[in-house]
Amino acid sequence: MTIKMLARVTGKGVPLVLVPGGLTGWLDWEQHAKRLAATRKVVRVQLLNVQYGLENRSLPLDYSVKMESRALAATLDELGLNEAVDIVAWSYGALVTLDYALDNPSRVRSLTLIEPPAFWVLHALGKLDAEAEQIAVMPWTSRDEISEDQLEQFLYAVGFCSAGQSARNLPQWPLWAQHRQSLRNIFVVSKHNDDPKRLSSFQRPVLLLKGTDSVRSLHQIIDLLAINLPQAQVMEMPGGHAPQIASIDRFLKQMKAFQASVQD
C-alpha cells in the first residue's frame, strides 16, 4: 500500500508546496499560507510522524526519512502536481524534502531549505564533531511514548530554549506538549545516510536559510550544502531555528524574490 501525507490546499495560481517541521507539523505554515493564498495555490502537507503522533499511533517498524519522502512524492502525484514546483521546507521537513528533491530533480522548480538537520552531510564529508553528534544522536529512541522531559531536552538541543531558560514557561509550551509524540521520529535523523555526489548533480536553484543564534551544527550543514549544491545561495535572518516564523515579513519577501528569479 502506498503511504501518502495529508494535505491542505488553499488559493489559486502557481503551486507552492510547504513542508513543515517535525514537531507541530503544518501549523508551522498556517500564517504563511494565509498570506500566500492570495496569489498562489498553496499546498501544506503533514509529515507522517506528526500525523501518527497526533493519532497516538506508533510509527511503522520500517519508518525512515525515505518513507517520508516517498509519501511526499505520492501526495504530490495524487494532487496532480506533476510539473516542477517550488518547494519550501523547514527543519526535519527540510531533511525529508532534500531527499525527495535528490530523488526527483525534474519535479523541483526551486528549493528553499530552512535549517535541515542533514547530519549525514557532516558525516559523509568528515565534519561531524562531538557537538554535532550529541545533537544528532539524542540519548533516547522511544517509539512509544515521549515525555515532557524529553520534549524539553529536544527544545534545548535545537536551540528553541537558551541555557537557564525553562521551555515550560514559554507561551508555545502547551502546543509543543500537545505534539510531543511527533518526536517518536527522532531516531531516524542520525540513521539517514546519502551520497554527497547526489548534491553536486542537483541542478536546480536552492535557497538555504539559517537563523541567527541557531545551533552551530545546523549552520555547518547549511554551509556544506552551499558548497556542494551547484546553484545554492545562503541567507541568514534573525529568529534562531525558526527564522521564517520570527521574521515572517522578511522571509516572505526574500522567498518571493528568490522564486521570481528562477529561470524555467
Q: Please compute the mean of the pLDDT values over residues 173-198 and round it to a whole number.
A: 94
Task: Report whether 92 contacts 25 (CB < 8 A).
Answer: no
Model pLDDT for residues 30-63, shown as the tens digit of each residue: 999 999 999 999 999 999 999 999 999 999 999 9
Cβ-contact 122, 128 below 8 angstroms: yes
Q: Which three cell numbers stand for residue 61?
A: 517498524
| Amino acid (1-letter code) at residue 206 | V
For the stretch 211-243, pLDDT in tens is 998 999 999 999 999 999 999 999 999 989 999
Q: Between β-strands 40-46 and 232-237, what pairing exists: parallel, antiparallel or unpaired? A: unpaired
124-134, pLDDT tens digit by residue?
A: 999 888 777 77
Distance CA 75, CA 93 (A): 14
User: Could you give all domains of the chain from N- to C-terminal order, each with its CATH number?
Assistant: 6-260 (3.40.50.1820)
Give the residue carrying C-alpha cell 545551533.
Answer: 215
Edge-to-edge order in the sheet of strand 232-237: 6-10, 40-46, 14-19, 85-90, 108-114, 206-211, 232-237
Model pLDDT for residues 92-114, shown as the tens digit of each residue: 999 999 999 999 999 999 999 99
The total of other beta-carbon atoms located within 10 Å of residue 117's CB is 26
Alpha carbon distance 82, 245 (integer Å): 29
**Residue 156 confidence (pLDDT):** 86
Which pLDDT score is estimated for 222? 97
pLDDT at 141: 58
How far is residue 177's CA from residue 175's CA, in Å, rounded to a whole number? 5
Strands 108-114 and 6-10: unpaired
**Residue of higher predicted confidence among 190 and 13:** 13
Q: Which pLDDT does position 175 carry in this prediction?
A: 95
